[in-house]
Amino acid sequence: MSKVLVLPGDGIGPEIIAEAIKVLETINTLSDQSIAVDTGLVGGAAYDEHGHPLPQETLAKAKDCDAVLLGAVGGRKWESLDIAVRPEKGLLGLRAELGLFANLRPALLYPQLADASSLKPELVSGLDMMIVRELTGGIYFGQPRGVRTLDNGEREGFNTLVYSESEIKRIGHIAFETAQRRGGRLCSVDKANVLECTELWREVMASLASDYPDVSLSHMYVDNAAMQLVREPKQFDVIVTTNMFGDILSDCAAMLTGSIGMLPSASLDANGKGLYEPIHGSAPDIAGQNIANPLATILSVALMLRCTFGQAAAADMIERAINAVLDDGLRTVDIMSAGMTQVSTSVMGDAVVAKLKAA
């Protein structure tokens, strides 16, 4: 039987995960392909219980499951801990241990929320793009790295940008396949005019194109890509890029959609196993108040059904249910606007479940 490990984490994590579980359980009753749910501790909650943000028991369960659904980790309570045991290390450890090298971040603007974007509605209405970010290589992991003292006594900081051909190829294949399932357009973002490492990136991406004749590949320098994202974001279908460029561009793309509470993400290994989570953090400022937006986490369930479990129809159902709830004018506080009805976290989750049952 298919199995998902659910890790609520810290802050608003348990509140938003509770709503995602309601939705998954509803899907289980509507589908003939049931997914079993196991739970575990990660982040600050795990540190409090076991003295480590990623206990062995959690890691073993994660390896044993087909997918992991995570709320969020972190909070002020744990900020003074040694960096090696801070909550965020639990998440980084999971990504590394599970070999999750491909990060998929959709940026989709719900027409009902067009006013929430920082750009003019005509620039973003209909926006639907995907950023595929390499997650386990590049300058965030390259060796050597550090801060050294030179002979003249001055300190010098250094990091290394490094990608092997095989690393570029494996993220490239994921990106081309993603473009095949979407609009068939892939833009590879690099800085090939300055960095040799990304010159290789461009060359390897171009070499993959003949395997995907149904995808049109283009290349763009990262500075131009940043400009184009705020100038004409709808020109993009799928973007593939390095770890650091993807980190920056995906946050920029997220803001085009107006709310951090609406965006899911997937981090995948080579076999489709994935860690699914909302892109936002644990929001300690609103934790425990039943006001957080659970929709990014519910959308993470949809992404999980589509990418790991091959249940595209169930994923579509969830996305349609969310659209219907937004059409009804229900809004959590982060997406509230004049004339709409403000609801709590749990009422929003119940509303999505009701739409699923009525469909």
Listed ranges 48-56, 60-68, 157-165, 277-285: which one lies at the site for ligand NAD (CB under 6 A): 277-285
User: Which helix or strand (DSSP H or E) is residue 5 part of?
Assistant: strand 2-9
Catalytic member of 38, 77, 140, 269: 140
Q: Is 223 a catalytic residue?
A: yes
Binding mask 83-112 for ligand NAD (x = CB under 6 A): -----x--x---------------------
Q: Which two tokens stand for residue 250?
A: 């995906």
Q: How many CA atoms lie within 13 A of 5 on its CB side?
A: 21
Residues 326-355 touching ligand NAD, rule: CB under 6 A, are: 334
User: Of 219, 211, 225, which is closest to residue 185 (Cα–Cα)?
Assistant: 219
Q: Is 82 a catalytic residue?
A: no
Residues 218/186, Cβ–Cβ less than 8 Å: yes
User: Which helix or strand (DSSP H or E) is residue 266 part of?
Assistant: strand 264-268
Asked if 214 interacts with ligand NAD (CB under 6 A), we say no
Catalytic member of 38, 128, 251, 328: 251
Asked if 196 interacts with ligand NAD (CB under 6 A), we say no
Sign, CA dihedral 230-256-220-190, equals positive
Listed ranges 109-117, 156-164, 232-240, 273-281: which one lies at the site for ligand NAD (CB under 6 A): 273-281
Asked if 267 interacts with ligand NAD (CB under 6 A), we say no
Asked if 74 interacts with ligand NAD (CB under 6 A), we say yes
> What residue type is 222 in one-letter code?
V
Sign, CA dihedral 46-352-347-117, equals positive
SS3 content of the chain, % helix, strand, coil (to 5): 50, 20, 30
How far apart are the C-alpha atoms of 86 and 99, rounded to whole Å? 21
Residues 222-251 touching ligand NAD, rule: CB under 6 A, are: none
Q: Which two tokens stand for residue 96?
A: 């590394």
Q: Is 276 a catalytic residue?
A: no
In the list 26, 250, 293, 300, the residue contacting ligand NAD (rule: CB under 6 A) is 293
Q: Is 140 a catalytic residue?
A: yes
Q: Give the count of beta carbons closer than 10 Å to the beta carbon of residue 97.
A: 12
Q: Which is nearer to ligand NAD, 215 or 292 (CB)?
A: 292
268 beta partners: 102, 274
Least Å distance, CB 332 to ligand NAD, is 6
Least Å distance, CB 313 to ligand NAD, is 26
Q: Is 334 a catalytic residue?
A: no
Asked if 72 interacts with ligand NAD (CB under 6 A), we say yes
Catalytic member of 22, 61, 89, 191: 191
Listed ranges 129-137, 141-149, 184-192, 284-292: which one lies at the site for ligand NAD (CB under 6 A): 284-292
In sequence order, the 6+-apart residues with CB closer than 8 A to the CB of 27 are: 35, 301, 305, 311, 314, 317, 318, 356
Site residues (vs ligand NAD, CB under 6 A) = 12, 16, 72-75, 88, 91, 260-261, 277, 280-286, 292-293, 296, 334
Catalytic residue set: 140, 191, 223, 247, 251
